[in-house]
Structures are given as C-alpha cells and as structure tokens.
Structure 1
Amino acid sequence: MMQKLQRFGGAMFTPVLLFAFAGIILSLSIMFQNEMLVGGIAAEGTIWKNFWAVVESGGWTVFNQIELLFVIGLPMGLAQKANARAALESFVVYTTFNNFLSKILQLMGPTFNVDFTQEVGGNSGLKMIAGTKTLDTNLIGAILIAAIVVWIHNRYFEKKLPDWIGIFQGSSLVVIIGFFLMLPIAFLTAWIWPIIQSGIGSAQGFMASSGTFGVWLYVFLERILIPTGLHHFIYQPFIFGPAVVEGGLTAAWLETLNTFAQSTQPLKELFPAGGFALHNVSKLFAPLGIAAAFYTTASPEKRKKTLALLIPTALTAILSGITEPFEFTFLFIAPQLFLVHSLLAASLGATVYAFGVVGDIGGGLITNLSQFVIPMSINHMGSVLTLFAV
C-alpha cells in the first residue's frame, strides 16, 4: 500500500514540476515590468513593457489549466502500459464528465442547491474548464476522474473484442466505458460535491481563521503526509485553488507582486492569507542541514562518495526547491527524524508568519530571488532580513 501511495505521489509531482518554470517566468516578467526596478523602460506602451507582457501571458498557461495538467499528467505516471494513450483517454473522459455535469446543473441546478446562473469564480462554486461552465471540483475532481480512467485503462486497454467490433478496442473501449461511467458519477457529483465544498471550506476555514496556529497545522500536515502522497490535498487547494484566495495563493501573489513591492504597508496586512504560502520555506534552509547530517554520519571511508551524491542533490534542492530525494532517504533510514523534520518545518513557517513575513516563499533560491527577495527589497527589506534571520 505504501508503495502505491508513493507512486501516486510521484505521479502527482510530474505536473507540479511545471509550476517551477512557469513561476520563474511569471516572476521575472512581472519584475521586468516594474518601473521601480528597471526604470522608464518599463513605462506603459514601450516595446520593453509590451514584450514582457506577452511573455507573462505565456507564463500563466499552466496556472490557468491546472485541472487539465493533472488529468493528463497522472495517467502518464500511473498507467501500466501505453501511457500516452491513457493521457488522451483521461482528457476525453474528464471533459465528458464536465459536459454531463454542466448540463445536469443547467437543467436541475435548484434540485442540487446550485445556482447555475451565477458567473463563474468567486463564491459561486462554478468554473470554466476546457471551455465548459461546470461545478468547480478543483484538483480533487480532476485527480479522481484521472484515477478512474487509469483503472479502466489498466484493466481493459488490451482486452480483445470480436473482429466485427474490433474497431472499438484499445483507447476507444476505455473511453466508451468511461463515457457511461461518467453519467452516474456526474449525477453523484452534482448531489454530493456542494456538500463537500461546504465541508472542505469549513476545514480550510478553520486553518485560515486560526492565525499562527492555523499556519503551523497547515505546514505540519503538508510535510507529514508527504510519504503518503496525500499532502497534495492539503496544500494544492491553498496554493493553486480557492481555499483562501480565488485562483490560489501563487497566482494571487504574482498578480499583485508589483503592487506589494511598491507599497510601504506591512506585507501581512497586504496579503494576510500569505501565511499559507510558507509551507515550503524550510526548503530554503533544511537542505544544508540535512546534507551536513548525511555527511557527518557517513563512514569516513564513504564520505567522498556521499559528498558526490550530496552536492548535486543539495544544489537541486536549494536552487529549485525539490527536496524529495533528501526527505525520502532519511524517511526510510530514520522515520522518527521525518516527524522531527515536519515539526521543525511547521514551527519555522509559523514563526516566520508570526514575525510578519508572508508571500509565495520556498520554491527554491532562484524563485525566491525573483518572487520575493529582489522585488520586496525596495520597500520591505525588513521582511526579507527577518526571513533569513529566523
């Protein structure tokens, strides 16, 4: 079971990796449009401004299509055969599900206590996905549908049909089964999901309204659940979903980066929900300590080999924020240390938040320089220094 959960977590990580590059592109393009940083060259209407505005628009691609990324990405990591076919099947079945759900709510919205006449976004619980107005099942819906398609694919993709209907085997058979299965699932979703939305909102609301303790609990759960892969359900609704900010904390931070950089108002007042973007702040500092622990506890005769492994791993972790190689290594060697690691990470995030530091911090040194340190050093140098001091 643990192996399956870890494989699931690895598959979840595949689309997440795309956000690192997109985040860097967005932060750089937004930073280069800031007149306070680059001067009059970034004035409205200049070639420089227009160029980086175009680059920025491309950077938003993955953030605007999050559900589709996971619907396509998960089968690529979980399908036991013909992964590319599984990704295509997942996309078709997921969009079919949303079309079913859209029509059900359009015809019977009041039956399910859903006002389908509302505009998407906000508190409506509705969203445009692949051009279809539907119920906002967010990443959870995308992940569940993708998982169902993977199960169908692994079970029926290679099933042989009689020659006279042989055209319907393979991907066609998977999509056909998925088509008919999505109909009752769409009805169940229309009935159950509004209730789940309320429950998720209450749990997230508890953390969001609990101040420093809420941030501590959020970071602790995100860290301690990493071995199971379930940590994605903790942080993704906050970071990429509407748990505390419409569109997710990452998108909200990038959209208002220039505004925050130019304001002299405390960051915690400008972006109070930003404490829930601190779950990765330990990634800036923990890799050095973990690497040092590995090196000092290694046998003297094996330290050179250990160092050869640690240097690229540590650099990757520090520069890009990818710390899983470290974390999974000491998870299996000394599980109790992973609990300590989770407690320390939660305490660090909560302490930083208590001292007034908020923002999308922790995706690696490169991301942090462009998304926090450089832009915030203009009017929020105190927050930058506090982050490193704590």
Structure 2
Amino acid sequence: MMNTPEDDCYSFITEWYDPFASLVRRYKITYYTEDSSVEMFDIKAHKMFLKRNKVDNLSMRDLYIGSIINICSRALHIVDYADDYTRRKFSSRKEKTFAMIKPECVNKVGQILDIITQKGFMVSKLKMCQLSRTEVFNFYEEHKGKPFLDDLVNYISSGPVIAMELMGQNAVQTWRALMGPTDPSVARKEAPNSIRARFGTDKTQNACHGADSQGSAARELEFFFSSKGPSRQNTAKYTNCTCCVIKPHAVLDGVAGKILSAIIEAGFEISAMQMVNMEQANAEEFYEVYKGVIQEYYAMVKELTHGPCIALEIRSEDAPTKFRDMAGPADPEIARHLRPRTLRALYGKDKIQNAIHCTDLPEDGLLEVEYFFKILDR
C-alpha cells in the first residue's frame, strides 16, 4: 500500500550482515514520525520480524541512504527507499555531495567543520587520507592537459587531505556557494564570509574542493569511499599516540568541530581521523576492559552504536597522559566543578554522553588506535 502524507511514515530497504549465517539479510523498515516507532518486515521470509515498537534515539535525521541504524542489536544499513512517497520526500532533502579539505587547511578542520554544521549540512562520511601522485592525477583526470594540473597534483599529494560526504538540501550548489569563488582574492571581495575567503591562499591552495555536479559528486565519493573495495589509506602513524573518540551524541549535536579545534589549539597533532559507525559487537569489544568494572558498561555500548562517531589518532610527547588530562573527569558534572575548561566539562551531558572517549591507560593508547585504524578500517 502506498503511503500518503496522512500516514506520516516512511519506508526503507535495509541490509544486515548475519555473522552466524554468513549472509546478508534484507528488511523493510517503516518509521512512524508520530511516536518514533518502527516495524521491520523480513523481505526473504515474507513475514513481520518486528511489530511496531518505539525505538529510543532514532529520529528523522538518522534516515538516509547510506545511514546505519541500530534496531534489535542489528546494525542495519539503509540501501534504498521502499516506496515512491519516501523517495520523493527524502531525495532532494538528503542530496549528497563530496567535499575535501586541502593540505594547508587540515589544521583548520575544526573551524571548517563548524561552518559546515552551522549551514545545516550533515557530515555522513569523513576520513583523513594521504594520496599518492598517481591517485591525485586519477582524481583530477578531468583536468588532464591543463597547465595547472602538475602544480595541483604536487600540492594535493604533499600532505593529508580530509574527504567528506555532506548531506543536505541542494547539497552540491549549497556547498559550492559556501566555499566561495576558486580564487581566494576574488572570494574576499565577492563572498567575504566564504571558506576560501577566510582560509585560502591562491587558486591552488584555496582551502577546499567541492564537486561541481551530482554526477561528479557520485564519482568523487566513490573514489574516496568505495562501495566495491577498500577505501583510501588512512594516515595513522602508530607512534607517540593515544586514541580519542568523539561520541555519537556530540557528532549529532554539531559540536565535533569545536572539539577538534580545542584539541589542535592545545598543541596536539591529529594525525588520523575517520568517521565510524560502530556495530554492537565492535562496541562491546572496544569497551571490554570496562565490562564488570563499571555499571555504565552497557549504556556506554548503546551510546557508541547510536550513530556515527569520529575516531582520532592524537600525537604528542606522553600523549595518553596529556590528552586524558585535557579530556577531564568522566562525569561532566564533576568536570564542570573541578576542571571547567576540559572537553567533558564543556561538551558532555552525563557520564554516558560525556562528549569523548579517551584512552585511560598509557599502555592502551597504541592498542586503541590500532583497533580503529587497522582492525575496523579493513
């Protein structure tokens, strides 16, 4: 039966990898906006899997193609719309585009991410990468034969870049307008509040890149976030490092940019960065050291699987100890009383939604970084 506006519900096709059967199961989920309830229908078995039931921490902002939502301890990957009504309602509002922060502005990632969030974009994928000359040449193949290409290839391959998938209304054109004119000197005259006006140097070192059409966005997103094989190599160094995870509530609340800026301003190097959607088994494994030790263990696991988190490799001398000091006490209320300038004091809500995870023991810093950037990145 086709949905009507009065139904106030939306349907999607989702996939879940069943590790015990080693196969992908497909479900149709229907989300009811009235009470944030969901029902699940097993497509292959032709039967209801979950009758209409309220799902905590699931909202309209979580529903888009490519999203991963957690229902009944299953990390469901939304792969398609299930009806034309849902497709019409979501396709323009959830348009995707590709954005890249260029090497000279990687240390401005917090400020740029803050601008992106304030504009209403949702960052649905993010990864810091180091491209080879060949990879850069392939990415910019449309400029083959143009006189500026060699300088551009040298520049983009000179250091890390940050690739992002942005979602929003008319995302391609909105992001291009937010970037501003290609030449930063022109941008400072014509669009003084644009990203290139604020952070760009010249036509090559102009802070950021954006796809110029939906077709280009699809190609460029596939280049960095391939659906058919490994994505681009991350930039983790695995030396003098500790792990930070910006928790899902902080990402969804739009404060990740402020947290990144604070970390950089404190003198830490963010040497690797990646947005991750944690499945329950991964979250349980990552937090295993806390199981049976602290009573909030299961709530912590639930929070980490609630939405996308951002994993960071943070480097400095004695990084685990110094960064743990910056993170502050695990309970934000205590942090606000004792150490009000720490990250958890500023951006945490409670002991579960306390803005960030940081490595507690110095000997675990490398292990936690390896978990995100070696094990999960496979």
TM-score, L = length of structure 2 = 0.31
Please identify which structure carries the higher helix content: 1
- Structure of larger gyration radius: 1
Please identify which structure carries the higher strand content: 2
Structure with the bigger RCO (C-alpha within 8 Å, sep 6+) is 1
TM-score, L = length of structure 1 = 0.30
